[in-house]
Amino acid sequence: MIPAAFDYESPRTLAEALELLATRADAKLLAGGHSLLPAMKLRLAQPATLIDLGRIAGLDVIRETGDRIAIGALSTHAAVAGSSLLQKASPLLLQTARHIGDTQVRNRGTIGGSLAQAHPSADYPAAVLALDAEIVARSRTGERVVKARDFFTGMFTTALAADEIITEVRVPKTAGARTVYRKFEHPASGYAVVGVAVVLQQSSGKIENVAVGITGVGQSAYRAVAVESALRGRSAESIAAAARHAAEGAEPMGDTFASPEYRKHMAVVLTRRALEEAAGTR
């Protein structure tokens, strides 16, 4: 199908993009376009103005900033997957990006676009939740930092205001911890039927700290806090029992590919496998 008519803007600066976003009625941002453009072709989305962020310099930089790594919002999945800085200092996002879509998707899709869309089966949300990441948003009136745990508010909905643009994602360095992302993907779309991200730190044979983010099960990604509570201070032998709490508190989705019961089961299985790998017992 052919999209409905729209105005096209290609700002050269972030300030110009923010001005357009604040002053144009029914404007949408274009980053990689893998979600928005298909929706426009089907006329499920009919924005009056399309604001292309692709020419804005500096939003695709991955850099070190104190005890964190800042990933520019226009960094492609391929750039995240190939970052030597992330590999060395905080590899979970890199591990996650390598599971996203196919080569074409990874070369065009962006981390900022993915987070802003908040697809319930996207990969990054599980990772940013497990990392306690910070998402930086800017509007004409200033900048604010949103904790990942406060960012995802429901299916395709976030804490972003209508006039805000994600500029970067900040993740902590994870030296001393092991990180793992495991996923059972839909064979057609590549989205996660269930995806599990783990950050785990051990000391003297005990699990000192652990964070588990899960995507694909409910209407938005979530932290598996019951799993985490069951593991802290315990040995890796407790992993199987703790993983049984993976879907606790979630309201699993169902579709023609996977029922709610199947998603609950896969959440338990993948959580156990990811935790065992992170603990070095798998």
Reported as a single tens digit per residue, the pLDDT across 108-150 is: 999 999 999 999 999 999 999 999 999 999 999 999 999 999 9
The verdict on 67 and 156 lying in the same domain is: yes
The verdict on 42 and 102 lying in the same domain is: no
Pairing type for strands 178-185 and 165-172 reads unpaired
Whether 162 is covered by a domain: the verdict is yes
Judged against a pLDDT cut of 90, whether residue 247 lies above it is answered with yes
Which residue from 167, 35, 157 is spatially nearest to 101, judged by alpha carbons? Answer: 35
Whether 243 is covered by a domain: the verdict is yes
pLDDT greater at residue 36 or residue 199: 199
In the chain, the largest separation of any two C-alpha atoms, in whole Å, equals: 63
d(CA 248, CA 228): 12
CATH value at residue 48: 3.30.43.10
Whether 2 is covered by a domain: the verdict is no
The verdict on 147 and 128 lying in the same domain is: yes
The verdict on 266 and 186 lying in the same domain is: yes
* Predicted pLDDT at 34: 83
Whether 1 is covered by a domain: the verdict is no
Contact 180, 91 (CB under 8 A): no
d(CA 119, CA 140): 26
pTM for the structure as a whole: 0.96
* Predicted pLDDT at 35: 87
The verdict on 23 and 45 lying in the same domain is: yes
**What is the pLDDT of the chain when averaged over all its residues?**
96
255 pLDDT band, cuts 50/70/90, is very high
Judged against a pLDDT cut of 80, whether residue 234 lies above it is answered with yes
d(CA 204, CA 136): 37
In sequence order, which residues have a C-beta less than 8 Å from that of residue 257 and are 6 or more positions away? 186, 193
Judged against a pLDDT cut of 80, whether residue 259 lies above it is answered with yes
Residue 12 is part of which domain span?
A: 7-52
CATH value at residue 271: 3.30.390.50
The verdict on 168 and 184 lying in the same domain is: no
The verdict on 152 and 207 lying in the same domain is: no
Where a domain ends, among 156, 172, 188?
172
The CA–CA distances, whole Å, from 213 to 102, 148, 175, 194, 227 equal: 23, 11, 19, 11, 10
Whether 38 is covered by a domain: the verdict is yes
Report the Cα–Cα distance between both ends of the chain, in Å, rounded.
48
Tell me how crowded residue 165 is: count the other CB atoms within 10 A of its CB: 23
Judged against a pLDDT cut of 90, whether residue 282 lies above it is answered with no
* Predicted pLDDT at 1: 77
* Predicted pLDDT at 263: 98
The verdict on 100 and 79 lying in the same domain is: yes
The verdict on 233 and 271 lying in the same domain is: yes
Whether 159 is covered by a domain: the verdict is yes
Contact 183, 123 (CB under 8 A): yes
Percent of the chain with pLDDT over 70: 100
The verdict on 108 and 196 lying in the same domain is: no
Contact 183, 167 (CB under 8 A): no
Contact 99, 195 (CB under 8 A): yes
* Predicted pLDDT at 8: 97
d(CA 51, CA 22): 11
Total domains in the chain come to: 3
Where a domain ends, among 148, 172, 196?
172
Report which DSSP code applies to 236.
G
The CA–CA distances, whole Å, from 59 to 15, 56, 93, 139, 207 equal: 12, 7, 17, 15, 37
Whether 82 is covered by a domain: the verdict is yes
DSSP for 57-118, please give it: TTTT-EEEETTEEEEETT-BHHHHHT-HHHHHH-THHHHHHTTSS-HHHHHH-BHHHHHHHT
The verdict on 27 and 122 lying in the same domain is: no
